[in-house]
């Protein structure tokens, strides 16, 4: 019994650190190879406080967490501020871990490589389980909040995240701090369970174990790392009698998981009624191995290894099969019962919150709902802004990539409420203009003035906040999010609660705010005709619907200027016609100016009031659609034919 309690306690401790690393690596996309260092900080700080100063366990653990967070900020800020790629961040954390290990081995206060013995055994299976459950709850709440959606967006596509106004550095630092806090907590618990710590415990082996748990469990899941870490602690213990061979079997387990489940045990899924049988299968295999090894150890010396093996293998297989079958049966029993119970529970909780609000007369203000300008507001906005001053004014814009001139001295105006087309052959510089206007690329020379403010030195998130949003030539949705969550992520500007409330999912702020965000997101999905697809994961949508979802996400930012980069690409004629009507409705109802890149000439000619044509980075023509259709330079650029005007210069 004591042995089983020890295995459980170790599993709980390693699950805590794996949950933190899942936030950092699995969701935010920052790969860490030195996470054991944060465990070491938490372990030494917490153990030192209880050992030397006699602190109680809980304050000591909190101090260890704070120390780990502060050190993570010192390590992470210069690395992340330099915008190094994820692999460089991994190397930085690896170097930090090894450096910290050397420091601890040569520090008199920690008694160097000899370690720190005599620590009180304050960690028990019960408090380890409580801390594990609380960590799961806090991580789950964070990921379901506006903060969590930003972290997931950064992990899936940093460029797209910036284009919806998410500042990368603060949220990457938040993710690192949460991860370090969990590691510090796990380190403190481990120190007070082992009662002895030394630097060699917190080496590369431990970091690799935790990283393997996150990768093999599923990079977009909390359930996966929990299950994987439990397996990685339990399975080696089952084969402890095999000495070094158990490490070989441990490696075989890793290879088997990565080959049979390339996206991890749970991928992007969490524990639900749908995948409950999967959990029972994994548990069945683990229990089956336990039964088989126990029988082999017990009867091997008596019956001989061959007979014991003949008994152990069928018994283990039968146990695994029975538990897997029990999982299917339980799922079948819960299927008609659990969804109604969840619905009743959710309604009950919301009713309780509303009752308390009424009792306290708190009420609280709801999120401000963005107003949608009426059709007449286009003319009103144009008049208010003044006909002589365009909303967007580009002058002398240039961009070089090495010896290639992508954009060469372009001038372009977009008026308030105007739809302007930007066309030209492939490689003419159209998307580069968008990337310069939205801050993706730095401008070599020229000016981009929006509402009187030069945007040349502005960051992408600052440009978004000024009122410019965009879609992409190659769709850049947050692929593992639902359609609803993609739009909600862009509505973060309307947030109504803080980080602490997000962690505890405070009903009187988080629930109400999240409901309002869902309502706003549903309205925008309805505008583009995707309200029926709200719960669908974005990557499972047809290509044309993904294009519309990108437009809905861009509208969630309440732009004054919308940059649409080939929105009709991949659409059939009927879908392209529907897109034309959609863009007209958006412009009429919201008064948004639109700059459109498109190769479908019927879309451009039907929509745009004015068209600019680029070729080899230069603007070769600008005018009304009928003028552009007859322009000889445009015909030459598209058809390659030499016209009299082109021939004469």
What are the residue boundaries of the structural domains of the chain, listed by start?
2-201, 274-361, 377-647
Measured in degrees and rounded to the nearest 5, phi and psi for residue 174 equal: -60, -45
Residue 238 is predicted with a pLDDT of: 72
pLDDT digits (tens, 9 = 90+) for 16-56: 999 999 999 999 999 998 899 999 999 999 999 999 899 99
439: left (phi over 0), alpha (psi -120 to 50) or beta: left
Residue 82 is predicted with a pLDDT of: 78
What 3-state class would DSSP assign to 613?
A: strand
pLDDT digits (tens, 9 = 90+) for 509-533: 888 888 889 999 999 999 999 999 9
Q: For residue 402, how many other CB atoms are within 10 A of its CB?
A: 5
Nearest by Cα to 487 from 563, 550, 568: 550
Do 593 and 380 contact (CB within 8 A), yes or no? no
Residue 286 is predicted with a pLDDT of: 79
Measured in degrees and rounded to the nearest 5, phi and psi for residue 260 equal: -80, -30
Q: Give the bridge partners for 610, in sequence order.
A: 420
Average pLDDT for residues 416-437, to the nearest whole number? 92
Which residue has 């997931």 as its token pair? 152
d(CA 404, CA 407): 9
Do 330 and 276 contact (CB within 8 A), yes or no? yes
Do 410 and 619 contact (CB within 8 A), yes or no? yes
Residue 212 has pLDDT above 80, yes or no: yes
Q: Give the bridge partners for 470, in sequence order.
A: 563
Residue 437 is predicted with a pLDDT of: 94
Residue 366 is predicted with a pLDDT of: 47
Nearby residues of 122 by Cβ (< 8 Å), 6 or more positions away = 50, 57, 192
**Of 267 and 318, more confident:** 318
Tokens (6 digits) for 99: 């450096």
Q: What is the mean pLDDT of the chain?
A: 86
DSSP 604: H
d(CA 580, CA 419): 12
Residue 370 is predicted with a pLDDT of: 44
Which pLDDT band holds residue 278 (cuts at 50, 70, 90)?
Answer: confident
Residue 381 has pLDDT above 60, yes or no: no
pLDDT digits (tens, 9 = 90+) for 176-186: 999 999 999 99
Do 486 and 538 contact (CB within 8 A), yes or no? yes
Tokens (6 digits) for 112: 């160097």
H or E stretch at 59: helix 57-81
The CATH class, in words, for 377-647 is alpha beta
Residue 85 is predicted with a pLDDT of: 65
Residue 245 is predicted with a pLDDT of: 65
d(CA 279, CA 460): 43
pLDDT digits (tens, 9 = 90+) for 547-606: 999 999 999 999 999 999 999 888 888 888 888 999 999 888 888 999 999 988 888 998
Residue 570 is predicted with a pLDDT of: 81
Tokens (6 digits) for 204: 């590369």
d(CA 141, CA 28): 16
Which residue has 């704070």 as its token pair? 66
Q: Measuring CA to CA, how many Å separate 352 from each of 321, 358, 359, 506, 508?
A: 44, 10, 10, 13, 11
């Amino acid at each position: 019994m004591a042995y089983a309690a020890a295995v459980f306690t170790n599993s709980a401790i390693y699950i805590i650190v794996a949950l933190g690393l899942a936030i950092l690596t699995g969701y935010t996309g920052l790969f860490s190879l030195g996470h054991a260092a944060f465990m070491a900080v938490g372990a030494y700080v917490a153990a030192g406080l209880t050992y030397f100063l006699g602190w109680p366990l809980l304050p000591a653990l909190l101090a260890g967490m704070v120390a780990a967070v502060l050190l993570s900020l010192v390590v992470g800020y210069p690395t992340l501020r330099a915008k190094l790629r994820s692999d460089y961040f991994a190397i930085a954390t690896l170097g930090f871990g090894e450096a910290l290990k050397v420091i601890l081995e040569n520090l008199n206060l920690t008694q160097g490589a000899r370690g720190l013995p005599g620590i009180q055994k304050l960690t028990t299976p019960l408090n380890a389980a409580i801390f594990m459950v609380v960590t799961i709850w806090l991580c789950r709440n964070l990921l379901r909040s506006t903060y969590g959606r930003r972290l997931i967006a950064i992990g899936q596509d940093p460029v797209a995240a910036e284009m919806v106004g998410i500042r990368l550095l603060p949220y990457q630092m938040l993710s690192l701090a949460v991860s370090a806090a969990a590691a510090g907590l796990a380190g403190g618990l481990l120190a007070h369970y082992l009662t002895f710590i030394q630097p060699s415990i917190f080496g590369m082996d431990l970091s690799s174990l935790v990283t393997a748990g996150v990768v093999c469990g599923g990079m977009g899941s909390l359930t996966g790392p929990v299950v994987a870490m439990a397996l990685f602690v339990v399975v080696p213990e089952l084969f402890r009698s095999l000495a070094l061979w158990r490490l070989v079997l441990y490696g075989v387990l890793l290879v088997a998981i990565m080959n049979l489940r390339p996206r991890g045990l749970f991928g992007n899924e969490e524990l639900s009624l749908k995948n409950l049988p999967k959990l029972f299968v994994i548990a069945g295999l683990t229990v089956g191995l336990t039964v088989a090894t126990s029988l082999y150890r017990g009867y091997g010396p008596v019956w001989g290894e061959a007979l014991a093996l003949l008994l152990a293998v069928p018994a283990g297989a039968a146990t695994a099969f029975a538990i897997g079958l029990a999982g299917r049966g339980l799922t079948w029993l819960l299927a008609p019962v659990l969804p109604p119970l969840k619905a009743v529970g959710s309604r009950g909780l919301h009713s309780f919150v509303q009752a308390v609000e009424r009792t306290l007369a708190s009420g609280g203000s709801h999120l401000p709902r963005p107003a949608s300008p009426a059709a007449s507001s286009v003319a009103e906005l144009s008049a208010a802004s003044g006909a002589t001053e365009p909303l967007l004014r580009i002058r002398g814009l240039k961009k070089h990539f090495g010896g290639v001139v992508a954009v060469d001295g372009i001038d372009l105006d977009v008026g308030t409420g105007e739809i302007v087309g930007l066309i030209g052959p492939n490689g003419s510089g159209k998307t580069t203009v968008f990337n310069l206007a939205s801050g993706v690329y730095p401008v070599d020379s020229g000016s981009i003035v929006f509402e009187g403010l030069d945007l040349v030195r502005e960051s992408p998130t600052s440009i978004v906040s000024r009122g410019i949003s965009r879609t992409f030539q190659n769709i850049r949705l947050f692929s593992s999010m639902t359609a609803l969550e993609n739009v909600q992520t862009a509505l973060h500007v309307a947030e109504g609660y803080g980080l602490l409330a997000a962690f505890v999912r405070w009903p009187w702020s988080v629930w109400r705010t999240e409901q309002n965000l869902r309502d706003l997101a549903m309205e925008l999905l309805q505008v583009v005709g995707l309200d029926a697809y709200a719960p669908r994961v974005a990557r499972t949508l047809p290509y044309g619907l993904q294009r519309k979802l990108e437009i809905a996400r861009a509208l969630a930012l309440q732009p004054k200027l919308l940059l649409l980069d080939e929105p009709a690409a991949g659409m059939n004629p009927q879908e392209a016609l529907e897109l034309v009507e959609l863009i007209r409705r958006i412009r009429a109802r919201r008064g948004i100016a639109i700059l459109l890149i498109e190769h479908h000439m019927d879309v451009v000619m039907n929509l745009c009031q004015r068209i600019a044509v680029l070729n080899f980075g230069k603007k070769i023509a600008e005018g009304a659609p009928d003028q552009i259709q007859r322009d000889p330079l445009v015909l030459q650029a598209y058809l390659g034919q030499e016209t009299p005007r082109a021939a004469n210069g």
